[in-house]
Amino acid sequence: MKLLLVEDDPALRTTLLRTLTRVGWEIEVCADGRAAVGHWRAGQPDVVLLDLTLPGRDGLQILEQARQEGLLTPVLILTARGTVGDRVIGLNAGADDYLVKPFDLDELEARLRALHRRHADSMTDSSAQRHGNALRYDKDSGAIYHQDQILELTPRELALLKTLLARPGHAVTKEKLFDSVFPGAVEVQFEAVEVVAYRLRKKLVPTGAKLMTLRGLGYLLKMPT
């Protein structure tokens, strides 16, 4: 399991390196915000552990650039910014989970493993699945295609869409979708899944597939006929 650790605090870096290496993570370290995306792109980590306050470049700017470049690696943000507003900003920028300093090392490890497990599951589902003429899921790449073009989705949008594709034409509860999109998250507001659904709905417009809200039931993915 490969981890990119983007953290400039030497003491915290040392602690995380020692703790996570001991439990099996292969860790690459970056302490400069300006170099983080380059390390990310070249190293192809399984998970990114990203501080927000960094020299050279803010963590949110790093995250936004990475997502714009199509780097879909799950990201767990570490920060001292603990307000609800800060968490929402981080999640909207493309983070998958958020942990406020100071934190428990066991909880950190559990969250990292949950992110890695979800990402691995998205890459190893059974054979490529075609859903009408609208969407095709490729197990080898973990990507979803429309007319042989990859849909540019964030990891959360991908997790949401995959859960809906498992039961096309059937309602999926918001609770189930939340668990798929934010596994193990205890500080994320339940309504955050609505933000992901809103963004996914806009990206599905060119495909003809419709993400429908069923009041009191959840969401339903309707394929074009």
**Contacts of 92 by beta carbon, 8 Å cutoff, 6+ apart:** 195
What's the pTM?
0.56
| Per-residue pLDDT tens digits for 86-119 | 667 777 778 888 888 888 999 999 999 988 887 6
How much of the chain, in percent, has pLDDT values that exceed 70?
88
**Residues 188 and 98 sit within 8 Å (Cβ to Cβ):** yes
Position 165, amino acid:
L
Averaged over 134-139, what is the pLDDT? Answer: 76
- Residue 171 confidence class, pLDDT cut points 50, 70, 90: confident
| Per-residue pLDDT tens digits for 13-58 | 999 999 999 999 999 999 999 999 999 988 889 899 999 889 989 8
Radius of gyration of the chain (CA): 18
Q: How far is CA 22 from the centre of its chain?
A: 25
| Per-residue pLDDT tens digits for 186-217 | 778 888 999 999 999 999 998 888 899 988 77
Q: Give φ, ψ of 112 to 5 degrees.
A: -60, -45
What is the set of domains in the chain, with CATH numbers? 2-122 (3.40.50.2300), 127-222 (1.10.10.10)
What H or E segment, with its residue span, contains residue 77? strand 75-79
**In whole angstroms, what is the distance from residue 58 CA to residue 31 CA?**
12
- Cis (ω within 30 of 0) for the bond into 102? yes
**In whole angstroms, what is the distance from residue 205 CA to residue 153 CA?**
13
- Residue 125 confidence class, pLDDT cut points 50, 70, 90: very low
